[in-house]
Amino acid sequence: MSLLEDNDTPPLERLKRYFAAGRVHMHECDHATGCLIGNLGQELSGQSDTFRDALNLVFQRWEQRFVHCLKDAQARGDIATHTAPEALASFILTGWEGAILRAKTLKSVEPMEQFETILFQQVLVRPSP
């Protein structure tokens, strides 16, 4: 998460480094582990309100790191402001978690790469002049 909070690095570069680190991790674990919080959420959310609430709190904190980074990108004019950073952060977290799950299933980082490509080419784009 510290990659998202490095204010010496431009916000979109922070995001790209964050996703790159995720792909490296996926390669290093041979596509087996994925995201611990996502894994726990899939296994335990239906079992206990206490677990679900605790995992949701972790996801909310994670989203807030994305929000901060996205606000920085909007303030710099790097991405359009027509979508609230909170909505973008939720979309990114949900999409990234899904891409990780698919990468584990396929034993390939291709879903993660596809998510990133669409995110940076279609969603996080500069405002139109």
* pLDDT tens track, the chain, 129 positions: 588 888 899 999 999 999 998 888 887 766 566 554 455 555 555 676 777 677 778 778 989 999 999 999 999 999 999 999 999 999 999 999 889 888 888 889 999 999 999 999 999 998 887
Provide the CATH number for the domain around residue 107.
1.10.357.10
* Number of domains making up the chain: 1
Range of the domain at 95: 2-123
Asked whether residue 129 is domain-assigned, the answer is no
C-alpha–C-alpha distance, residues 20 and 6, integer Å: 15
C-alpha–C-alpha distance, residues 51 and 74, integer Å: 34
With contact defined as beta carbons under 8 Å apart, do 108 and 31 qualify? yes
Asked whether residue 31 is domain-assigned, the answer is yes
Question: Has this prediction a pTM greater than 0.85?
Answer: no
Name 27's Cβ contacts closer than 8 Å, sequence gap at least 6.
Answer: 109
Let me know if 1 is exposed, middle or buried by CB neighbors in 10 A (0-12, 13-18, 19+). Answer: exposed
C-alpha–C-alpha distance, residues 9 and 36, integer Å: 27
